[in-house]
Amino acid sequence: MITSDIGFWVDNYVGTYQIIESEGKKYIASKEFHPARNGEAELKKKRLFMDLFKNNEYILIQLANVDTKDENSIVRFCNEYGLPYSSSKIDDERPGCYIMGLDVDERTYSSLYPLYRQDNMQVYEFKRHVVSAQRILNVKSELESQSINYENLFRFLLPMLLYERYGFYDFDADDPERCTETMKFQYYFLNVLNKVGDKTIRSLACELFGFVVETQAIGKGENKVYVTDELRSLFQNEYPNELYKFLVDLIRYDNGQINEIKINEFNELQLPEGFHLSVETKKHLDELASNILSDIISESLQRVHPIMMVDENGKIASKWDLKYLYEGILVETLVMASGDNNLKKCANPNCGKFFTPNPGRNDKIYCSHTCGINVAKRRQRMRDKENPNRERLEPGFRNR
Ligand SMILES: [Zn+2]
């Protein structure tokens, strides 16, 4: 593996963070400043990664384990690793004050961006990155599992296929190029959604149905929506047609249940009670899941590449051209997805955190000792409930 020889690191700004509101939006912002003035604390850099993966440790996993409902959990991650996209790093890359490309003076700039000297990121953006990391790890761990939980696989794979870059494109010539067939398909899906979808009330069933109806029309040569030649030619390949058939079958065989699925602002699916998938859909998942996962990872890796450089001894060396924490996390995703590490999801249903057990500890099913104890205690309570008069084993728990 190329990364094992070269290694990789990211020098990220890492401060102490708080969540504050500015202009009606929530931000994660550092207490330190960049640049600092008049005795303010200066934001400092920290070298991250440094081949953590060789010790079976991944910042990717730490990110996926952030509890997005708990602001303390968000701040804890940032205090350790900084922001996935540090605004102070972006400023270093492009010094000066710009508003939509226009050079402005600092006072004008600061009136529009009051946090501009603090390392900051919108909380919404941070959560979006967490959700993306969770999708990757959930899909990967289901695919590696001895007995796949298809409903769980579906819950994370479908948004990965359809919504990974939701809100990312403007559907004009400035949109970044799509490299993989999965992302080309998604671009097509989002394009149709953009034209015909209702953005105020989201409904997975309506979005799927609208897409299938439009695609049928294109198949018949009717032009109901604006479709480019790129999108039309996509369906000349086999794989995008398989993806389309998967969605058609989903409507055909799982219609009633699809109607009940809720979708939130991060495109996470909330499945109804007792949700189960048809045999047909499971078959599609078996055939498509690995390809979707690898395409989505490949697509984001387009931003990341190795470069040649001259090192401190004047020798030609190679390194990864990484500027932001999230780019390093993408390299970890590559290393993790292609390596034979052992990714596990904690068996405590109230936890569900990911972890990589150390070699020789592959039988470990809980992320921590605490989770193991909590599950044991819960089982004990259940048994007690079923049979309240049963003799307790420990003297301390004897019935009074
Ligand atoms: Zn746990």
Angstrom distances, CA of residue 120 to CA of 27, 89, 132, 155, 399: 6, 10, 20, 31, 55
The CA distance from 292 to 289, in Å, is: 5
Q: Which amino acid type is present at position 53?
A: F
Q: What is the pLDDT of residue 66?
A: 97
Q: What is the pLDDT of residue 391?
A: 60
Spell out a b/e string for 264-277, using b for 16 or more CB atoms within 10 Å of the CB, else e. eebbbbebeeebeb
Please give the distance, rounded to the nearest whole angstrom, from the Cα atom of residue 352 to the centre of ligand 1. Answer: 6
Residue 239 — φ and ψ, nearest 5°? -60, -45
Q: What is the pLDDT of residue 400?
A: 42
Q: What is the pLDDT of residue 363?
A: 83
Nearest to 179 by CA among 84, 268, 58, 305: 305
Q: Residue for token digits 């769980």?
A: 152
What contacts 95, CB < 8 A, 6 or more positions away? none
Q: What is the pLDDT of residue 1?
A: 45
Please give the distance, rounded to the nearest whole angstrom, from the Cα atom of residue 148 to the centre of ligand 1. Answer: 20
Q: Which two tokens stand for residue 193?
A: 């959604």
What contacts 41, CB < 8 A, 6 or more positions away? 31, 32, 33
Q: Residue for token digits 């009051």?
A: 114
Please give the distance, rounded to the nearest whole angstrom, from the Cα atom of residue 354 to the centre of ligand 1. Answer: 8
CB distance 14 to 80 below 8 Å:
yes
Q: What number of other Cβ atoms are within 10 A of residue 332's Cβ? A: 22
Q: What is the pLDDT of residue 384?
A: 82
Q: For the chain, which residues make up each domain, given as ranges?
A: 2-355
Please give the distance, rounded to the nearest whole angstrom, from the Cα atom of residue 345 to the centre of ligand 1. Answer: 8
Q: What number of other Cβ atoms are within 10 A of residue 4's Cβ? A: 11
Please give the distance, rounded to the nearest whole angstrom, from the Cα atom of residue 82 to the centre of ligand 1. Answer: 24
Please give the distance, rounded to the nearest whole angstrom, from the Cα atom of residue 15 to the centre of ligand 1. Answer: 28
Please give the distance, rounded to the nearest whole angstrom, from the Cα atom of residue 347 to the centre of ligand 1. Answer: 7
Please give the distance, rounded to the nearest whole angstrom, from the Cα atom of residue 368 to the centre of ligand 1. Answer: 6
| SS3 readout for the chain | CHHHHHCCEEEEEECCEEEEEECCEEEEEEEEECCCCCCCCECEEEEEECCHHHHCCCHHHHHHCCCCCCHHHHHHHHHHHCCCCCHHHHHHHCCCCEECCEECCHHHHHHHCCCCCEEEEEHHHHHHHHHHHHHHHHHHHHHHCCCCCHHHHHHHHHHHHHHCCCCCCCCCCCCCCCCCHHHHHHHHHHHHHHHHCCCCCCCHHHHHHHHHHHHHHHHCCCCCCCCCHHHHHHCCCHHHHHHHHHHHHHHHHCHHHHCCCEECCCCCEECCCCCCCCHHHHHHHHHHHHHHHHHHHHHHHCCCCEEEEECCCCCEEEEECCCCHHHHHHHHHHHHHHCCCCCEECCCCCCCCEECCCCCCCCCCCCCHHHHHHHHHHHHHHHHHHCCCCCCCCHHHCCC
Please give the distance, rounded to the nearest whole angstrom, from the Cα atom of residue 326 to the centre of ligand 1. Answer: 24
Please give the distance, rounded to the nearest whole angstrom, from the Cα atom of residue 375 to the centre of ligand 1. Answer: 9
Please give the distance, rounded to the nearest whole angstrom, from the Cα atom of residue 351 to the centre of ligand 1. Answer: 5
Please give the distance, rounded to the nearest whole angstrom, from the Cα atom of residue 18 to the centre of ligand 1. Answer: 26
Please give the distance, rounded to the nearest whole angstrom, from the Cα atom of residue 367 to the centre of ligand 1. Answer: 4
Q: Which two tokens stand for residue 139?
A: 């899909």
Q: What is the pLDDT of residue 197?
A: 66
CB distance 60 to 336 below 8 Å:
yes
What contacts 246, CB < 8 A, 6 or more positions away? 281, 284, 288
pLDDT in tens, the chain (400 residues): 444 556 789 999 999 999 999 989 999 999 999 999 999 999 999 999 887 877 788 999 999 999 999 999 999 999 999 999 999 999 998 888 888 888 899 999 888 889 999 999 999 999 999 999 999 999 999 998 889 999 999 999 999 999 999 988 988 888 999 999 999 999 999 988 888 766 778 889 989 998 898 888 777 777 666 666 777 788 889 999 999 999 999 999 988 889 999 999 999 999 999 999 999 999 999 999 999 999 999 998 888 888 888 988 999 988 888 999 999 998 888 888 777 677 889 999 889 899 988 877 778 889 999 999 999 888 888 888 877 666 655 555 444 4
Q: Which two tokens stand for residue 198?
A: 């209702």
Please give the distance, rounded to the nearest whole angstrom, from the Cα atom of residue 205 to the centre of ligand 1. Answer: 34
Predicted interface score ipTM higher than 0.85: yes
Nearest to 356 by CA among 83, 67, 46, 144: 144
